[in-house]
């Protein structure tokens, strides 16, 4: 049985987009996010020792916006309220990561019309006979833990631990409670949602309301992860080239990765990935 690592790309990018101390004013481009991403990637690959790694990213024109135009509006407002130069820099460094990742034995995958979450759900389904580890602190993947996949685990790189699924059905609970981060309105509070799930009579009474049923079904459509048809998954194959990657790291002055001991460790980490 192979060990497969599924990385939630933009979740990883946002974790890497952290710097300490005040920003120095300079016209010189910075690469802190790129450095943090590859440093963290090496540690995680060493930790889990996978046979294969997929970096799952976003496709264009996600279907959820067509169902609910306000979907993720909070994130858009928060994103646009930032300094535009910060937004541009995040996009610039994300692009660099996606280019450089092809020099490592890592397959990038996306599907137009779908989010990375759906791509990960699709790969988890097709690879259910393998040992699959999802790397993300996005709780939506709890859905997959309740699918009955025997060999699937969800690891939170922030908490540095595996996530346990709750006893209640997560998708139903979240469809009742909503998700502020995705601008999905809650029908009841999180605790009330748990109480409803623990009391079938109260839940039935709640769904006697046509409005409640309609809003619940809309939320469920937005929250539930989709399985993407195989022919819609777009795989970007890698072309391993450590020499070129080292040149790029040298240009970006990733000195702590580039001394002989550290660089050999970096290369050795990926030697068993295919």
Domain residue limits, the chain: 3-167+226-269, 170-223
Task: Going from the first residue of the chain to its last (274 residues), give the mean pLDDT of each consecutive group of 10, the final group possibly shorter.
Answer: 96 87 66 97 97 95 88 61 78 97 98 97 96 96 95 97 96 96 93 96 96 97 96 95 98 96 97 91
Q: Which tokens is 257 given? A: 């990765």
pLDDT number for residue 77: 43
- Select from 172, 185, 176, 189 the least CA-distant residue to 71: 185
Are the beta carbons of 259 and 227 closer than 8 angstroms? Answer: no
- Most distant pair of Cα atoms in the chain: their distance: 68
Sign of CA dihedral 130, 57, 229, 62: positive
At residue 207, the 3 state secondary structure works out as: helix
Beta bridge partner(s), residue 107: 54
- Select from 17, 256, 56 the least CA-distant residue to 141: 56
H helices of the chain, in order, are: 9-16, 32-48, 63-67, 73-81, 84-100, 116-126, 142-145, 170-177, 190-198, 200-207, 210-223, 242-251, 255-258, 260-269
- Count CB neighbours of 124 within 10 A: 25
Beta bridge partner(s), residue 236: 108
pLDDT number for residue 24: 58
DSSP letters for 41-103: HHHHHHHH--SEEEEE-PPSS-HHHHH-TTTTHHHHHHHHHS-HHHHHHHHHHHHHHHHHGGG
Bridge-based pairing state of the strands 107-110 and 52-56: parallel
At residue 118, the 3 state secondary structure works out as: helix
In this structure, the chain runs to a length of 274
CA-CA distances (angstroms) from residue 152 to 19, 52, 119, 162, 223?
Answer: 33, 15, 15, 11, 20
- Select from 52, 45, 87 the least CA-distant residue to 269: 45
Query: CA-CA distance, 234 to 17, in Å (whole number)?
Result: 26
Selected from 3.40.50.150, 3.40.50.1010, 3.20.10.10, 3.40.50.300, the CATH number assigned to the domain covering 3-167+226-269 reads 3.40.50.1010
């Amino acid at each position: 049985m192979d060990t497969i690592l599924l990385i939630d790309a933009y979740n990883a990018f946002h974790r890497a987009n952290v710097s300490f101390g005040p920003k120095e004013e300079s016209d010189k481009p910075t690469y802190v996010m790129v450095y943090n991403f590859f440093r963290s990637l090496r540690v995680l690959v060493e930790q889990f020792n996978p046979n294969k790694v997929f970096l799952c990213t976003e496709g264009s024109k996600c279907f959820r916006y067509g169902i609910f135009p306000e979907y993720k509006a909070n994130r858009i407002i928060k994103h646009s309220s930032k300094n535009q130069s910060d937004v541009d820099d995040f996009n610039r460094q994300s692009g660099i990561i996606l280019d450089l990742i092809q020099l490592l034995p890592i397959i990038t995958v996306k599907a137009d019309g779908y989010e990375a979450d759906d791509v990960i759900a699709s790969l988890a389904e097709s690879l259910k006979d393998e040992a699959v580890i999802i790397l993300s602190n996005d709780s939506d993947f709890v859905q997959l833990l309740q699918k009955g996949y025997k060999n699937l685990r969800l690891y939170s790189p922030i908490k540095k631990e595996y996530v346990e699924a709750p006893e209640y059905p997560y998708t139903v609970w979240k469809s009742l409670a909503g998700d502020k981060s995705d601008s999905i309105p809650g029908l009841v509070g999180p605790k009330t949602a748990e109480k409803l799930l623990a009391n079938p009579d109260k839940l039935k009474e709640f769904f006697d309301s046509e409005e409640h049923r309609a809003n619940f079904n809309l939320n469920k459509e937005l929250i539930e992860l989709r399985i993407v048809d195989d022919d819609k998954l777009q795989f970007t194959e890698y072309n391993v080239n450590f020499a070129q990657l080292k040149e790029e790291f040298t240009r970006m002055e990733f000195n702590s990765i580039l001394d002989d001991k550290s660089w050999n460790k970096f290369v050795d980490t990926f030697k068993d990935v295919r």
